[in-house]
């Protein structure tokens, strides 16, 4: 849903910019941040969904899945909000560190669940 909303926002902005924002031309300054927010979400959201799927298939507790999924959504919304509003760089660093940490923990836990004895 987030990827669709960000992509729609980019398309609407391109529509209003007209010929300045045609494909094949450099990205105009007014849509650089929306394009990057959409691209970043398109790159990272699938990994979070895949990690949650692997944890679910590995038998992770429902409560933990909800906590991690909710945290992941909040972090992605935080990143999109930062990117679209050009917030302070410190916010981006905190969100990025938490995002990578959560993804790493989800992946490590999925591997542990896969190889742990029943």
Residue 107: which domain range?
2-115
The CATH number covering residue 97 comes to 1.20.120.550
Count CB-CB contacts under 10 A for residue 78.
Answer: 18
Q: Please tell me the predicted confidence (pLDDT) of residue 25.
A: 76
Count CB-CB contacts under 10 A for residue 59.
Answer: 10
Q: Indicate the number of domains in the chain.
A: 1
CB 35 within 8 Å of CB 10 = yes
* pLDDT tens, residue by residue, 22-80: 777 788 888 889 999 999 999 999 999 999 999 999 999 999 999 999 999 999 999 99
Count CB-CB contacts under 10 A for residue 41.
Answer: 21
Q: Which of 5-9, 21-25, 57-61, 89-93 has the lowest mean pLDDT?
A: 21-25
Q: Please tell me the predicted confidence (pLDDT) of residue 91.
A: 86
Q: Which tokens in the block code for residue 68?
A: 């991690």
Is pLDDT of 118 > 70?
Answer: no
């Amino acid at each position: 849903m987030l990827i669709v909303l960000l992509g729609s926002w980019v398309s609407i902005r391109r529509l209003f910019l007209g010929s300045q924002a045609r494909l094949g031309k450099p990205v105009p300054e007014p849509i650089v941040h929306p394009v990057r927010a959409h691209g970043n979400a398109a790159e990272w959201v699938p990994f979070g969904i895949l990690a949650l799927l692997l944890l679910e298939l590995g038998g992770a507790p429902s409560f933990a899945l909800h906590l991690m999924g909710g945290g992941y959504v909040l972090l992605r919304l935080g990143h999109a909000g930062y990117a679209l509003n050009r917030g302070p760089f410190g916010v981006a660093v905190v969100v990025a560190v938490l995002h990578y940490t959560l993804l790493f923990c989800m992946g490590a836990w999925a591997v542990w669940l896969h190889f742990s004895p029943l």
